[in-house]
């Protein structure tokens, strides 16, 4: 046990945060989670093993100054995961950037007020490292996304400026606590709550015919339980510092489709046409202009490129070993069927 005081987890009902709460409870910690509604609205958190004795849920608002004072009061460690993740937004500034940046600063200010916080673990993203794969480059924690903007991949931009704001806060305010950042790639796996997270939604879209064919794109995947464990290890490891790229392995769309077929999901509308060649990439880029702006931009900046990255730092310094991505993907599909996000397979 690193602390007998509550560990604060912001946005506790979120996909990653709920697993962090569970991981902490399993290790015997007391947890204080922030939520937007009253506690009774989150039965999936209140029913976790150990929750009745060691979980407290308090309401907080990302955009309300001082909203997190009560949540972090008396805590040694704070895990800030609360941040919007949406690809379809009307106003990127108000829907993505403001909540991400202002929310991060609000939490850090509350941590200073507490006088007890020793470390903040921030959930960032691969989006803060790059929004455009580069076949000639291996990305690491040293890389920063310098290309995104409100017009180009605004979600990536929001994660980048939010993390930069956090580091800038630490540099200027020089608080008594330090900052450690986790940068996951596509986070998949079983959900503790009923909502559908964006990465799992992408897998669902592949299965229900949203993609016209198998396109030349690959993603880095990581199981949500590993991401949760990485946060807790970042808290428990005194020497943890800086950023940690958190991803198990990369997989091309053709491998993903082949895996789903071999796992018995061939009854879904999986893409069959091979569009991975140059002609297919040109066609998909042209078709991307028929999609909502943010989705179209994401397609144009990723398709036809290969994402390569190095996860040696997190394995070496935090001692984490990752679950096989193929197992996580199959669990993801079965979990979406269980929650009703994916219809049962036609016989």
> Token digits for 167?
């580091």
Residue 82 CA to residue 173 CA, distance in Å, equals 22
Do 10 and 72 form a contact (C-beta atoms < 8 A)?
Answer: no
| Long-range contacts of 313-319, Cβ-Cβ distance < 8 Å, separation of 24 or more | 313/140, 313/141, 313/244, 313/245, 314/230, 314/244, 314/245, 314/246, 317/237, 317/239, 317/240, 317/244, 318/230, 318/233, 318/234, 318/237, 318/240, 318/244, 319/233, 319/237
> Token digits for 203?
């897998």
Cα dihedral angle (218, 223, 224, 226), rounded to 10 degrees? -130
H-assigned helices in the chain: 15-26, 43-46, 51-54, 69-72, 92, 98-114, 154-173, 198-207, 224-236, 253-260, 278-287, 293-302, 312-318, 325-339
CA atoms within 13 A on the CB side of 119: 18
Residue 190 CA to residue 85 CA, distance in Å, equals 18
Do 280 and 294 form a contact (C-beta atoms < 8 A)?
Answer: no
Which of these is catalytic: 5, 88, 142, 159?
Answer: 159
Do 45 and 15 form a contact (C-beta atoms < 8 A)?
Answer: no
Best CA proximity match to 188, nearest among 235, 261, 249: 249
Verify whether residue 313 is a known catalytic residue.
no
Do 314 and 322 form a contact (C-beta atoms < 8 A)?
Answer: no
User: Which positions are annotated as active-site residues?
Assistant: 159
């Amino acid at each position: 046990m690193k602390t007998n005081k509550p560990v604060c987890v912001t946005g506790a009902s979120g996909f990653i945060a709920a697993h962090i709460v569970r991981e902490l409870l399993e290790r015997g910690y007391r947890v204080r989670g922030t939520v937007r509604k009253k506690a009774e609205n989150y039965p999936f958190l209140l029913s976790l093993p150990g929750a009745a004795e060691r979980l407290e849920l308090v309401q907080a608002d990302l955009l309300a100054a001082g909203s997190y004072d009560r949540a972090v009061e008396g805590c040694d460690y704070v895990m800030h995961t609360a941040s919007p993740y949406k690809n379809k937004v009307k106003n990127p500034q108000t829907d993505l950037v403001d909540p991400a940046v202002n929310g991060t600063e609000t939490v850090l200010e509350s941590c200073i007020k507490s006088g007890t916080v020793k470390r903040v673990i921030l959930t960032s993203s691969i989006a803060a490292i790059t929004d455009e794969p580069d076949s000639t480059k291996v990305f690491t924690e040293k890389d920063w996304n310098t290309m995104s903007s409100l017009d180009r991949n605004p979600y990536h931009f929001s994660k980048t400026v939010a993390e930069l704001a956090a580091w800038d806060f630490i540099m200027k305010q020089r608080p008594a606590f330090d900052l450690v950042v986790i940068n996951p790639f596509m986070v998949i796996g079983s959900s503790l709550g009923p909502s559908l997270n964006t990465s799992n939604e992408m897998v669902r879209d592949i299965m229900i015919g949203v993609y016209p064919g198998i396109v030349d794109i690959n993603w880095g995947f990581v199981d949500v339980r590993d991401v949760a464990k990485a946060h807790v290890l970042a808290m428990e490891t005194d020497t943890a510092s800086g950023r940690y790229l958190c991803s198990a392995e990369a997989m091309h769309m053709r491998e993903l489709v082949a895996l789903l077929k071999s796992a018995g999901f061939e009854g879904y509308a999986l893409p069959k046409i091979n569009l991975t060649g140059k002609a297919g990439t040109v066609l998909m880029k042209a078709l991307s202009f028929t999609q909502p702006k943010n989705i179209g931009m994401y397609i144009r900046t990723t398709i036809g490129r290969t994402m390569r990255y190095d996860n040696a730092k997190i394995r070496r310094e935090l001692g984490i070993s990752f679950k096989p991505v193929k197992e996580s993907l199959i669990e993801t599909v079965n979990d979406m069927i269980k929650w009703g996000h994916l219809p049962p397979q036609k016989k």
